[in-house]
Amino acid sequence: SASGIFKELAILLLIIICLFSILPFPVFAVDLDGVASYVDLGSNLAIGGQNQMTITLWMRPNALAADTRGIFHKWLSSNGPIIYSSTQNLIWQMGGSNMNSSSFVTNMLKAGVWQHIAVTFLEAGASTDVEQMYYNGLFVGSSATITGTNTNPAVSAKVGSNAGGLSFFNGQISDVRVYNKVLAPGEIRAIMYGNVKVASGNLVGYFPLLSEANSYEPDFSGMGNVGNNISGGLRGRLSPALRFRR
């Protein structure tokens, strides 16, 4: 009967929704062409004036370029955070200091595969600042620095390029979150598996990156940041991660 078919379809839809809610990778992502496309998160993202920070995101490079490609960038004159890739290495830089994944993990990044990245910064003192890096929920290394600073440079935060709108990332990025505290390993793993309630009181920016090209990019943290999806050579609108899952 029609009612029976409707019930079966409703159950199937519920099952699909439940499966999507537990997938350890994003269902949608912004697709960046590596030539001119990026997402501009604006200059008001509250990353400055804090002695702690965590940034988490999902990424899937289409190719691993030998030069540097921006993943998350809000840096000016040795101030602010940077995450970028160079071949199979991930570099996490705060101010004038940086830590390279090649120091502790060989050939970490992979093309054509979804990977979860998390980095933390603790400004504990002039000679005891600490940067940490997590890959797919696992702690992979830390670095002490005496030059790292967490100010809020007067440039827009960029996803998929550097602060100047260059060094474009080729691939997909999704679920960018910024916290004003150093998250614990268990919290980072919970975020990787989709728990949006982790440290919600410390969330200062949350961009799932679900918008279409040339449109407003909403901030789900409640902090009212203004983001824009800059199309450039953007290949598509929404990119289902399942399509690229291997």
From 142, 123, 124, 125, select the one nearest 133 (Cα to Cα): 142
pLDDT for 188 equals 94
- The 3-state DSSP class for residue 63 equals coil
pLDDT tens sequence across 170-199: 998 988 999 988 999 999 999 998 777 777
The whole-number average pLDDT for the span 39-54 is 77
pLDDT for 54 equals 93
* Local confidence band at 82 (pLDDT 50, 70, 90 cut-offs): confident
Instruction: Decide if pLDDT at 240 tops 50.
Output: no
Q: How far is CA 124 from CA 45, 50, 136, 141, in A?
A: 22, 11, 26, 18
pLDDT tens sequence across 132-167: 999 999 999 888 765 555 556 667 888 988 877 678
More confident residue, 50 or 139: 139
Alpha-carbon distance of 51 to 32, in angstroms, equals: 32
